[in-house]
Amino acid sequence: METRHRALEVLRIVDPAAKAAAARALYAAAQDGLILACEAQIQAPPDLPGRPDRPRLVAAIKVANRSPFTLAGRAGLIHAICHIEFNAINLALDAVWRFAGMPAPYYLDWLRVASEEALHFGLLHEHLQSLGHGYGDFDAHDGLWSMAERTRADVLARMALVPRTLEARGLDATPPLQDKLRRAGDLRAVEILDVILRDEIGHVEIGNRWYRQLCRERGLDPIALYPELVARYEAPRLRPPFNLPARSAAGFSAEELAYLQG
């Protein structure tokens, strides 16, 4: 089966653990040369993404803030990160199946992202279970997937606004979150977030690289275009503090970092 059709099949899997395992297996197969013809348009099925009945999805403002300094609060916090990583598997798989005619390295990049997000989900879910909970035990919101829906017609907008906007926010948020968890005594969570931060730098770099390549191909200025895309697709405004070393490692230019801070 052609790689993008298989990615769509994995995206439609409802069970999170089964989806994570399938995403990792698909990347392993792709590394062994599975990537085939990528030109065909695929009709979108109505049931995207595959996900379980729980967690209940609510408006972002209705998701409770969780303090890491109580067991229940820490479980809720780990659950929120677990939900982000589950959505990140879906986003990476969607970037593979949805956009036809990209070069083979594009598909391999996003299959790698899906595999690494699956690893993150597994690490977090195992830790969540050690706290007496499972994925689905707390309410969550659907902000990440809603941006995938808004950018479904244009791969350039997707690259601009998912990896290098939404995922890049994780680069900023992770070190302060680690500080809180360290003070709460949850060193395992801090270790897991070290793995996630390392990998997410690579994911954002992939987004930056393909965004710039697509801009070059279309004769567009990536710096000038970005705020236009933010406005057009109603992307969240980025607010400090920014993790400038991580963003620099992820391929943001000095001009882009200056724009963020300005």
Please check whether residue 200 lies inside any domain of the structure.
Answer: yes
Q: Which two tokens mark 92?
A: 């990476």
The reported pTM is: 0.95
Please check whether residue 53 lies inside any domain of the structure.
Answer: no
**Domain total of the chain:** 1
- What is the distance between the alpha carbons of residues 174 and 201, in angstroms, rounded to a whole number? 11
- What is the distance between the alpha carbons of residues 150 and 2, in angstroms, rounded to a whole number? 26
Please check whether residue 122 lies inside any domain of the structure.
Answer: yes
Please check whether residue 97 lies inside any domain of the structure.
Answer: yes
- What is the distance between the alpha carbons of residues 167 and 223, in angstroms, rounded to a whole number? 18
Instruction: Give the pLDDT of the chain (262 residues) as one tens digit per residue.
Output: 578 999 999 999 999 999 999 999 999 998 887 665 566 788 889 889 999 999 998 887 778 788 899 999 999 999 999 999 999 999 999 999 999 999 989 999 999 999 999 999 999 999 999 999 999 999 998 878 899 999 999 999 999 999 999 999 999 999 999 999 999 999 999 999 999 999 999 999 999 999 999 999 999 999 999 999 999 999 988 889 999 999 999 999 999 999 888 7
What contacts 20, CB < 8 A, 6 or more positions away?
A: 89, 118, 119, 121, 122
Please check whether residue 62 lies inside any domain of the structure.
Answer: no
| Structural domain containing residue 138 | 3-41+69-261
Please check whether residue 64 lies inside any domain of the structure.
Answer: no
Please check whether residue 54 lies inside any domain of the structure.
Answer: no
Please check whether residue 47 lies inside any domain of the structure.
Answer: no
